[in-house]
Amino acid sequence: MRLTRPGARATTVMGRACQVRAGRPAVLFGHPAPGARREGRGGTVVGARWRLLWLAVVTVLVAACTSSAGGASGEGPTSASTTPRPVPDTSTTTTAPPPPTTTTTAPAPTIDPAVHTPPPADPSAPGWLPTTPDFDMPNPLIVLTDEHYVSFATQTEWDGVTINVPFRLSTDLVTWSLPGDALPVLPPWAAHDVTWAPDVLQTEDGWVLFFTARLQGTELQCIGHAVGDALLGPYAAFDEPIVCPTERGGAIDPRSFVDLDGQAWLLWKTDDNWDLDREAPSSIVSQRLSSDGTALVGEPSVILDAAFGWEGHIVEAPDMVRGPDGRLWLLYSGGWFNQPHYGLGWAECATPAGPCTRHGAGRFLGTNLQGEGPGEGSIWFDRDGSTWIAYAPWAQRFRTPTPRPLALVRLGFGPDGPYLGSPQR
């Protein structure tokens, strides 16, 4: 169970009205640091200094969350919740130590308002690159637990084994464990060539993993979902994708978000630009999720269309966050992911279903001294309540197979909205 700041990305639920999302991490390329502690089973992470605060907060919030929990306006799910495949035996497919069975996300501390207004960063080198340039973590997702930063990323190969959804553990964001596989068995609809852009959501029933994979027999990408009892899995995938609009070229880049009322949402990108001959503009879409996170509810809403300019005809990799003043912000990437003009932008939204209006005339974060084409951003919160974006710039000009190392940039929030804050680490 995790209590985090409302209006963040969803990783946890306490009643559903207290559900919010943490962030995402990375690990040392290849080997853990000498003397690194292996992850044991059943560990929890609430530090002693937070226990009294946690008990007090829980006492107050249980009543509030209980009264506000429930279904979504009586509407039924609009996509079938087919029975997931049985959880497989991963004893021969996992390269990391077995995941703990009771991993929990960390409780949020009392937040000093100054945490949201760090000094501005140097725009030529605004981020913190905790890993070496040869470390590869495209589409990074960071989740903070009581004891660790946990990273999820795009499919990789390790010691001759394909790892569909790699996870790693770290205590400092610098040194990381060997990768394990959160999704060792893919569903029948998914091709085995690449699984990418993962996301996780905690509900009262357990954990839901969202991922992108290619639809068998086609060139289209769709979004799948899987359920598990623990953050690290193993997750059992449903037999059918949860989002697959073939009329728009499929869908990629799933991201969950839980708003102040406890309603969980799924965001994604329509992959219209998959056909290079058409170059159709893509869109970012949002739709409500059922209380268990395994089905869509109501109708989808297009909240942002590509507006050309620096974005070209591509907007993708959405995420949402509410600032300390309650304003709702959509983070997105624009342009081709493998080009120097790729970057991050913001739009301000009235609701998770839109409408959303672009904020600023250009990129919020673009090519700089720390790497070209920064994008694929995801939002997470550190133990002190500070807000961060994890993203993946190109380490060199040569795109393939150049790694995309983990990069972290701190967010500040001022009267004019989000700004690049000094990392202060």
Domain residue limits at 357: 48-69+94-421
Residue 191 lies in a domain: yes
Residue 9 lies in a domain: no
Residue 43 lies in a domain: no
3-state helix, strand, coil in the chain (%, to 5): 10, 35, 55
How many domains does the structure of the chain reveal?
1
Tokens found for residue 96: 């990391």
What confidence tens digit (pLDDT) does each residue in 190-210 have? 999 889 999 999 999 999 999
Its pTM stands at: 0.77
Model pLDDT, residue 401: 57
Residue 202 lies in a domain: yes
| CA atoms of 188 and 182, how far apart (whole Å) | 17
Residue 8 lies in a domain: no
DSSP code of 108?
P
Model pLDDT, residue 114: 82
Model pLDDT, residue 396: 57
Residue 23 lies in a domain: no
Model pLDDT, residue 403: 76
CB 137 within 8 A of CB 394: no
The separation between the first and the last C-alpha atoms of the chain, rounded to the nearest angstrom, is 27
- The phi and psi torsions of 276 (rounded to 5 degrees) equal -65, -20
Residue 276 lies in a domain: yes
- In whole numbers, what is the pLDDT of the chain averaged over residues? 79
Model pLDDT, residue 400: 53
Residue 20 lies in a domain: no
| CA atoms of 203 and 12, how far apart (whole Å) | 6
Model pLDDT, residue 131: 86
CB 162 within 8 A of CB 155: yes
Model pLDDT, residue 46: 31
Model pLDDT, residue 275: 85
CATH of the domain at 154: 2.115.10.20
- The phi and psi torsions of 150 (rounded to 5 degrees) equal -115, 130
Please tell me the number of Cα atoms within 13 Å of 270 on its side-chain side: 23
DSSP string covering 219-248, please?
S-EEEEEEEESSTT---EEBSS-SB--GGG
> What stretches in the chain show pLDDT beneath 50?
1-82, 85-110, 398-399
Model pLDDT, residue 201: 98
